Amino acid sequence: MTTRGMLTRAVNALPKFLSALLLAVSWNDVFASTVVEVGKILPPISIIQGGQVVIERDGYRVAPWSGPRDLGLIQVIQYVPGTRRGGGLYDPLTERMRLELEFARYRITAIVNLEAAATFAKPFVRATVVDKQRAFSLATLVLDEAGTGQAGWDLTEQSAFIVTDASGLVIDAIFGKPSDNDAARIFQTLKGLLKSNSPH
């Protein structure tokens, strides 16, 4: 092939190459936007297989949930696998929050990944989440039947404890099982955030 022919083929191939490059860049941007990172806005997710637990007089129902929602408040979002170990992963931290912090000034959303639960255990996990929703009416509890949150937020550790400011900016986060230092740090982060946003 002549030099001119090679040049013509290269020029003709350029649009396809640029299209492929732009597609790769756009896919990378989409992937990057799903990762939970401190200092960035928490990416939104929608859970339609399952959803938010809504207590009713004769039982409960689930409604599609999208979040994080703009509540105008500091938020704590927990994502945990629906297993015995996963269900209690952040309990000591949330109990300390309940005892020491003013709940009216922040909101908790707990999302339970039922895909991680054994088939025989799923009814028990659902019942436990519903009982917790009855006990803590100001919290938002969400059943994630398909593991949408884990995939959507790229949670390789399968769980996360995330603190955002009122705008949805991630201020601090723990991924996986928290160490004592992790729990102490994120509690102080939340406490300091509430203090800095105090109306007094």
Which token pair is 173? 């986060």
Question: What pTM did the predictor assign?
Answer: 0.81
Which token pair is 57? 């007089």
- Residues 71-94 have pLDDT tens digits of 789 999 999 999 988 888 999 999
Q: Strands 74-81, 59-67: parallel, antiparallel or unpaired by DSSP?
A: unpaired
- Residues 156-198 have pLDDT tens digits of 999 999 999 999 999 999 999 999 999 999 999 999 999 987 7
SS3 142: strand
**Residue 142, phi then psi, degrees to nearest 5:** -125, 135
**Which are the contacts of 28, defined by CB distance < 8 A and separation ≥ 6?**
none
- Residues 4-41 have pLDDT tens digits of 454 345 435 444 443 443 333 333 333 344 789 999 99
Say if residue 56's pLDDT is above 70. Answer: yes
| Whether the Cβ atoms of residue 36 and residue 173 lie closer than 8 Å to each other | yes
- Report the amino acid identity of residue 72: G
- Report the amino acid identity of residue 105: R
SS3 per residue for 8-51: HHHHHHHHHHHHHHHHHHHHHHHHHHCCCCCCCECCCEEEEEEE
CA–CA distance from 127 to each of 20, 93, 133, 174 (Å)? 48, 22, 10, 27
Rounded CA gap, 172 and 150, in Å? 18
Q: Tell me how long the chain is.
A: 200
| Whether the Cβ atoms of residue 30 and residue 156 lie closer than 8 Å to each other | no
The pLDDT assigned to 117 comes to 95
| Whether the Cβ atoms of residue 157 and residue 178 lie closer than 8 Å to each other | no
- Report the amino acid identity of residue 198: S
